[in-house]
Amino acid sequence: MSLLLTAVTFSISAHAIDIKAEITGKRLVMDGADCAGLYLKNDKLATMYSESDCKSGLALRVRWLNNNTFVLIEKNRPNDISPPRTYIYEVKSINGKKVTLNELWTGWNDLKDDETKYHIK
């Protein structure tokens, strides 16, 4: 039974793959969008794109916490008093050109984490 579940469900923790290598240098576009998503340029730099602005996005630094968790940190300081925006992502699954990320909520209030599906472009 467990072999069947393993064959049907692809779990990051169950398979020793180099997630960093799988998604670095790739553009992850949100399912249902043309542009919105992330571009992990290399292991240090990334860009976050909105659907309304496909050409210039939010410049970010990348810091990998472990094999399947990374933090994106705003690179350019918008003013002298605000801390940088940060986004923590856990890679839940990679299956071919499909990637599922869980964004861990780091903002104000008590909101739930957000699981989003992407396709590699």
Parse the chain into domains and list their residue ranges: 17-120
- pLDDT reading at 56 higher than 90: no
Q: If pLDDT is split at 50, 70 and 90, which confidence band does 17 have?
A: confident
Q: Is the pLDDT of residue 90 over 60?
A: yes
Q: Is the dihedral of CA 13, 8, 100, 17 positive or negative?
A: positive
Answer whether residue 5 shows pLDDT above 90.
Answer: no
pLDDT at 47: 97
pLDDT at res. 32: 96
pLDDT at 13 over 70: no
Can you read off the two tokens belonging to residue 74?
A: 């705003």
| Residue 87, strand partner residues | 72
Handedness of CA 81, 56, 98, 19 (dihedral sign): negative
Kindly tell me if the per-residue pLDDT of 100 is higher than 70.
Answer: yes
- Mean pLDDT score, 84-106: 96
Assign 15 a pLDDT band (cuts: 50, 70, 90).
low
Share above pLDDT 70 across residues of the chain, in percent, rounded to a whole number: 87
- Mean pLDDT confidence for 93-115: 95
